[in-house]
Amino acid sequence: MLLVAQRLEGPFNIESVMEPIDVKISEAIMNMQENSAQVSFRVFQGCGQPKPAGMTRSTRGVSDVFSARFRPYSPEERPTTAAGTSLDRLRIVWKAMQHSVRFNVL
């Protein structure tokens, strides 16, 4: 039993194993924040300075942006989207609603 007690007091102390993980994570974050300048310096020293990102704006015009997304189509061309395919049914509903409102059927 004395040997077991000595092992628990040594490097295999149960309290060090059972310490809450959230405390360890919090301490690691605080340690990283305190040493962030040194860590950044070492990273830049080993990997080199980062290249500045190009922060220039695009010079393309408005027509270039919209031409790819919205193309003109002829009235004879049938739409293929879900909303476009139900337009005929919507027209019938709106016409019926117009007559219902006019004659107070609603």
Residue 80 lies in a domain: no
Residue 69 lies in a domain: no
Residue 86 lies in a domain: no
Residue 10 lies in a domain: no
State the total domains in the chain: 1
| Domain span including residue 39 | 21-48
CA 52 to each of CA 19, 21, 38, 57: distance values in angstroms, whole numbers, following the listed order: 43, 38, 21, 15
Q: What is the pLDDT of residue 84?
A: 60
Residue 81 lies in a domain: no
Distance of CA 69 to the CA centre of its chain: 23
Region of residue 76 (phi > 0: left; psi between -120 and 50: alpha; otherwise: beta): alpha
3-state helix, strand, coil in the chain (%, to 5): 65, 0, 35
Q: pLDDT (tens digit, 0 to 9) for every residue of the chain, 106 residues total?
A: 677 676 666 666 666 666 677 788 899 899 988 998 998 888 889 888 888 776 666 665 555 555 555 666 666 666 666 666 677 777 777 777 777 766 665 5
- For residues 14 and 8, is the Cβ–Cβ distance under 8 A? yes
Residue 43 lies in a domain: yes
